[in-house]
Structures are given as C-alpha cells and as structure tokens.
Amino acid sequence: MEHDSQRDGASRRQGRSAAAAAVCLLALAGPTLTGCALSRAEPPPIASVQPLPDRWVLAPPGEAEVALDRYWAMLDDPLVSEFVAKAQADNLDIAQAAARLRAARAGLRQAQAGFLPTISGSGGAQRDIGDLARDGVQLSLGADVQWEADLFGRIDASRDAARGDLQAAGYSLGDLERVITAQVATQVISARALAAQLAIARETLAVQEDNLQIARWRNQAGLVASLDVEQARTQRAQTAATIPQLESNLVAVANAISTLIGEPPGRVYRALAEAPRAVPAPPIRVAIAAPADTLRRRPDVSAAEARLAADLARIGVARAQLYPLARLTGTIGTGGTDVGDLFDIVTGNVFASLSQLIFDGGRVRGQIDAARANADGSLAAWRQSILTALQEVESAAVDLGTSDARVTALAEASDGAQNAAILARSQYQAGLIDFQTLLVAESQLLSTRTALVAAQGSRAQAYIALARAMGGGWTVPEGAAINPIAGEPAT
C-alpha cells in the first residue's frame, strides 16, 4: 500500500511538471509558434494572370500631358470644377463607401485583437442569512485570462483577410470617386450641349417667324401661293416643338447633377440657365502611359486584387481548423470580510489545453472548398477588371480622335449652311427663288448647327472617358490605411 501511494505521488508530480512545461512553452514561446503556420498563397503577378501588351494597339500616340488628379480643370469650365468638388465632398454614394471603409478598418482591429489575451474581471459581495450565518459581508474579486496560441496561422490568416478587405474597401471608395467625378463632368457637358442646342432652336424659331411673316406679305401681295405660307407654318411649328423637349432634357440633366453633388434640385439648373457657355474644347492628343502603368493607376484593378488576397487568406483560415488548437487559460481570485483583508489570500490556476478536430461530417472540408471557389471567382474578377481597363482606354482614345474629326467636318458644314441660308433668305425676299429652296437651306442650317454642338459635347465627353479610363479623378481618402497592391494609387 505504501508503494502504491508513493507511485501515485510520483505520477501526480510528473503530471504537474508536464503541465507546467506546457504552460511555459505556450507563454514564453508563443510569438515563435507561428512558425508552424501553414503557408498561404499570395496573388500572382499580373503578367502571369493576364498577359499585357507592351503598347496600345489602337490608341493614337499623344502629346498633351494631363494631370489626372484634376483632369477636368483642362476643360476650363467653372461649373465643372465647382460641381466636381461638391460631389467629391457631399456625394451620398461616396459617403456610403466611406462608411464601409470605416467598418473594414474596425474589422481589421478586431482581427488583430486575436493575437492578444482576453482578460475579464469579476467582483461580488455576499451576506449570509439564517441561524448559522456568518457575520459581516463576504467580499470577492477575480479575473479570468484566455489566450490562443496561433500554432497554424488561423489568427494570422484572419488578420490578412481583414487587411485585404480594408484595402479593397479603400480602393473601392477611390474607384467610386473616380466614377462619380467623371459622371458629374459628363453631365455638365451634356447640360452645356443641351443649353446650346436650346439657344440654337430659339434663334432658328425667331428667323422662321420672320420667314412666315414674309411669306404672308408676299401671299397678300399676290406674289406667291398660299403653299409658301403653309410650308412656313409647318417649319416654324416643327422647330417650336423641339424647344419643350430640350427644356425638359436640360432640367433632367441639371437635376441629375444635383443628386450627384448631394443637394435638392433648383440651384444647378439656375446656374446652367443663367450663365450659358459654349461646350468646352478639350486637349485632343492626350499622352497615355504604358498599359502596365495605366493599370497601376486604376483603383478598380487594385480593389479586385485586394479581394483576391483576402479570399486567399480565408483559405488559410478554413484549413487551420483541421489542425490542433492550443489555448492557455487562467484564473485568479481573492476574498475577505472587509477591504483590509481582501488580498490576504490569493488563489489561482493556469490550464493549458490542446484540442484536435476528429470528425465533423465534412463541414470544414466544405468550408475549404467554398473558400477556394471564392478565390477562383476573385481571380476571374481581377482578370476581368484588367481587360475592362484595357478596353476602356483603347476605346476612349479612339473615340476622342474620331470625335475631333467629326467636329472639324461639322464646323465646315455649319459654316457652309450658314452662308447658304443667308443667301437663300435674301433671294427669297427678292423673289428669285421659291420657298421650298429656302426651306431646305433653313433645315440644313438647323440640323448642322445642332449636330455640331452634339459633336462638340461628344468630344469633351470622350476626353473625360479617356481620363477616367486612365485612372484619373480619385485620391486616397485620409486615414484610409491602405497599402498599394497593384502599385501606387493616384493622388
């Protein structure tokens, strides 16, 4: 019996020694235990994911250097600059994206907290009641500590995923600013074109009213038939019918701008109507950086890469569930009948545990497969963003060149139509031509002037589209705490 007692005592001492060794290993070597962490994949280089051309295939070579952070300033339109600044400050879609960025930053802080222990305290007061009750109030204080050793990188992978989410949210905010900036500038150009076309229609209407009056006088004098009067009436009415539609379109565009800059309708329309300006002429031969450099400026491409990085890290989070989980827990407590003897006796314990998943019916394997599928989807989305960026630059560059050629041709046509209309009007008044000839000349003048303004608007919008495609119009938000992935973001 004495031998068994000694053996049991030795076993207990060995058990306590092993537990103490485990505690020391977890507590002292914790920072180095992450060396056992599973390796995780990183986003591959762009060139290995999607081959990039060394130069642009269709975009013509350019000369004009454009400051992409303020490309709209080259339009030299005060309302464009004013409304873009207002949209960047007050647009509600940008405000929502900024809120999502703050949420992502908070998520990163939560993930980083996993590396630190969790400490909770407790306290209480107890008073016994009854015949055998102790006198006085029993006071107690205690604290619990829990800490997980990141043996296989689960916490580290969670932090990396949260960091990727933060980067994606930051770049998404920048991309939304890029898009909203271009939308505001484009809508102001549309409003300028509509206002110019409205002025042309009103000027033409005044001329056609004079023509109608001339036709009536000539008819009353017996010089022309009533057909001339009816044709003049028809032409005037057709032109008058276009004015309400142009006015309605101008109001709709102005109200759209109001929404983009975060204010109710009214002020924008008055600013556009009270201070009309010609459609601005942008620089034509814009210098375009190499495809790889352009992609580094595109926040949507960087956001897609950040999402891929986050999804790759989540594969590591899922895989880590297949491996052991080590935790260190401890408690400490004290009690007394008054504050003076509260800390006379302090008790506590420390416990180290190691758990291993044995069977879960395939739940973790399913999570791993789902994480891999999400990463595959993010990879495809990244590739798609690259191709979309290349397509937008090529298309906008070609559109800018062809729009300028169209403006040049229509300017010549408008000048010719103006001269023809003046000659036809004087010849009709002299009775040298019939009204049908004048009608054709007036119609050609109206259509060519309207088409010229539309082409000028399209040219300015093509410039905006090219600057947007090159990654212009966004800045890294203050305090975003995002690190470049695809390259340095535009500022």
pLDDT confidence of residue 5:
44
If one counts the domains in the chain, the total is 1
> How many angstroms separate the CA atoms of 482 and 471, rounded?
17
CB 375 within 8 A of CB 312: yes
Cα-Cα end-to-end distance for the chain: 83
25 part of a folded domain: no
Q: Report, as an integer, the average pLDDT of 438-450.
A: 92
Backbone angles phi, psi at 131, to 5 degrees: -65, -35
Calculate the alpha carbon distances from 160 to 264, 301, 398 in Å.
42, 19, 41
Q: Report, as an integer, the average pLDDT of 110-119.
A: 91
483 part of a folded domain: no
Among 332-336, 428-432, 441-445, 476-480, name the one with the lowest average pLDDT.
476-480
478 part of a folded domain: no
Neighbours of 158 (CB within 10 A): 23
15 part of a folded domain: no
Q: Tokens in use for 401?
A: 């060149």
> How many angstroms separate the CA atoms of 282 and 455, rounded?
12
Using DSSP's 3-state secondary structure scheme, residue 282 falls into coil
pLDDT confidence of residue 339:
66
- Put simply, whether the predicted model's pTM sits higher than 0.95 gets the answer no
Backbone angles phi, psi at 283, to 5 degrees: -65, 145
57 part of a folded domain: yes
354 part of a folded domain: yes
pLDDT confidence of residue 473:
92
Sign of the Cα torsion 55, 56, 60, 61 reads: negative
pLDDT confidence of residue 1:
43
30 pLDDT exceeds 70? no
What ranges make up the beta strands (E) of 337-432? 346-355
What range defines the domain where residue 464 resides?
A: 37-469
CATH of residue 73's domain is 1.20.1600.10
| Summary mean pLDDT of the chain | 85
62 part of a folded domain: yes
Dihedral angle, C-alpha 110, 112, 118, 121, nearest 10 ° = -60
35 pLDDT exceeds 90? no
13 part of a folded domain: no
Read off the pLDDT of residues 218-232 as tens digits, 9 standing for 90 and up. Answer: 788 887 788 888 888
Confidence tier at 39 by pLDDT (50, 70, 90): low
Q: Which amino acid is at 306?
A: A
